[in-house]
Amino acid sequence: MLFTPFEIKETVDMFLRYKLDIRAITLGVSLLDCACAGGGETRRKIREKLLRLAGPLVKTGRDIEIEYGIPIINKRIAVTPIALVAASCDEKDYTPFAKALDEVSGELGVDFIGGFSALVQKGFSEGDRRLVDSIPGALAATERVCASVNVASSKSGINMDAVRRMGGIIKATAEASADGIGCAKLVVFCNAPEDNPFMAGAFHGPGEGESCLNVGVSGPGVVKAALENHRDASFDELADSIKKTAFKITRMGQRVGMEAARRLGVPFGILDLSLAPTPAVGDSVARILEEMGLESVGSHGATAALALLTDMVKKGGVMASTHVGGFSGAFIPVSEDEGMVAAVRSGSIGLDKLEALTSVCSVGLDMIALPGDTSASTIAAIIADEMAIGMVNNKTTAVRVIPVPGKKEGDWVEFGGLLGGAPVLGLNPAGSEVFINRGGRIPAPIHSFRN
């Protein structure tokens, strides 16, 4: 017998009871060869290339879903940062590029397209400035386009001019869209990975090849179910259980990713094993931490629990695949995780504890609703804090916050779909404007000087 009845039941339970899925297959496409002096000609080339390379993406994903019985939630595209592609054009507003990306992604049937992006960790080029200034209008005018800006790195330090600028851009983006939803498609990074399949931060880095297929796997429900069988166990046993579960999830993801890449005729890029939650009950990272013995995800001890979870997920993943990349670990978005929402509602977690958790998780402050009257300088200061955590710890951190127009602390805001909904978090009333207005660059830490 090839498989035992227990193994078959375990596999069925993973998908049907514990919500295991392929969160995204993301086709990365280089647009560097599309750059021309004219914006119209550049957009024409972009359209032709995406239709040619990504044409079979959605059908391929659906075929694999049917044949393997594995849900693939999103089919996505990531492209070269548009700030690089459009730099040679004489257009000052890059919104037409966002509209062109949105139009072609709609024709292709993909859920999102990422890459309306700029890399400014050490400074702005003219193309970078134009792209960043275009973000509010571009995200308001499009449905599927996602934007990202990398403002810091462990090698370069923190570009505080960019941080200050992004505080204003996030405010403007929120005001340009209903309930600030445009900000759900905008993320600010430190140490942004070039091979990330997850939105809103996906882009096809300049160090990547012509095209590749990246996969994002998620299974918080499966991990929680595994821990339910070890309620009286030591941390050693918990760690071992998480690692073995992550191994199984990763093997499944690699099989799907390699098959999708083969059918599309592109190289298999990376497998991002990130426990990405959804608003559905039973699909929560917060509930995994509570299964370890915390009364709430905001309890003292939560940072240690999340450190254990993230590390074991990575250890299990790298044993199962030589292509692990992207973020890989655990996401803690507030609105997309029903356990996190419950913790905010009960008052057991706030922005300070969320920031502490980001020191050990995969990414950072994610999908957090802020009062609509939050100042641009306060948003910039939140970004600066998170960038410092990423820079000093040599890890990826990010900020995706939504200052919801007209909302105040405690109000509820609904974003819909996988974005969920969340209460508006309160903030420290003390200001940071003088600090943010200094500008310049916070230097890289001493351990960055390694070659």
Q: Residue 198: its pLDDT value, please?
A: 87
**Chain-wide mean pLDDT for the chain?**
89
- The residue-averaged pLDDT of 344-361 equals 90
Q: What is the mean pLDDT of residues 223-228?
A: 84
Q: Where does 112-222 show beta strands of DSSP type E?
A: 112-119, 145-153, 157-159, 186-190, 211-218
- The pLDDT of residue 217 is 83
Of 402, 409, 329, nearest in space to 363 by CA: 329
Instruction: Check whether 235 has a pLDDT greater than 80.
Output: yes
Of 6-10, 284-288, 337-341, which gets the smallest average pLDDT? Answer: 6-10
Report residue 29's pLDDT band, with 50, 70 and 90 as the boundaries.
Answer: very high
Interval 53-70: pLDDT, tens: 999 999 999 998 888 888
Place of tokens 């990422």: 114
Residue 304 identity (one-letter amino acid): A
Contacts of 174 (CB under 8 A, 6+ apart): 180, 182, 183, 372, 402, 403, 404, 405
Q: Kindly indicate the confidence band of residue 168, based on its pLDDT and cuts at 50, 70 and 90.
A: very high
Distance from C-alpha of 330 to C-alpha of 15, rounded to nearest angstrom: 19
Task: Tell me how crowded residue 300 is: count the other CB atoms within 10 A of its CB.
Answer: 9
**What single-letter amino acid sits at 101?**
L
pLDDT at 1 over 50: no
Residue 106 clears pLDDT 90, i.e. is over it: yes
pLDDT value of position 420 = 85
The pLDDT of residue 214: 92
Q: What is the mean pLDDT of residues 83-92?
A: 91
Task: Please give the domain boundaries of the chain with CATH numbers for all domains.
Answer: 28-190 (3.20.70.20), 215-442 (3.20.70.20)
pLDDT of 418: 76
Average pLDDT on 161-171 reads 97
Residue listed under structure tokens 């993973």: 14
| pLDDT, average across residues 338-349 | 90
pLDDT, one tens digit per residue, over 353-393 is: 999 999 888 788 989 999 999 999 999 999 999 999 999 99
User: What does the pLDDT read at residue 10?
Assistant: 57
Of residues 13 and 382, the one with the higher pLDDT is: 382
Q: Greater confidence, 136 or 278?
A: 136
Q: Which two tokens stand for residue 33?
A: 């060869």
Terminal Cα-to-Cα distance of the chain (whole angstroms): 53
Q: List the one residue out of 144, 133, 29, 149 whose CA is nearest residue 91.
A: 133
> What percent of the chain has a predicted confidence (pLDDT) above 70?
94
CA distance 77 to 72: 14
What integer pLDDT is reported at residue 226 of this predicted model? 83
pLDDT at residue 282, as a whole number: 66
410-444: per-residue pLDDT in tens? 999 988 877 888 899 999 999 899 999 998 999 98
Q: What is the pLDDT of residues 112-158, one digit of tens each?
A: 999 999 999 999 999 999 999 999 999 999 999 999 999 999 999 99
State the Cα–Cα distance between residues 86 and 64, nearest whole angstrom.
35
pLDDT of residue 74: 86
Instruction: Find the radius of gyration of the CA atoms of the chain.
Output: 21
Residue-level pLDDT at 386: 96
Return the pLDDT at 245. 87
Tell which wins on pLDDT, 386 or 255: 386
**H-type alpha helices, 265-337:** 285-291, 302-320
Which helix (H) or strand (E) element contains residue 368? strand 365-371
Region for residue 56 given its phi and psi (left: phi exceeds 0; alpha: psi -120 to 50; beta: otherwise)? alpha
Share of the chain above pLDDT 90, in %: 57
Bridge-based pairing state of the strands 186-190 and 397-404: antiparallel
Q: What is the mean pLDDT of residues 391-406?
A: 93
Q: Three-state DSSP class for 202?
A: coil
Residue 235: count other Cβ atoms within 10 Å of its Cβ. Answer: 13
What is the pTM for the complete model shown? 0.91
Which pair of tokens denotes residue 382?
Answer: 């939140």
Mean pLDDT confidence for 100-113: 95
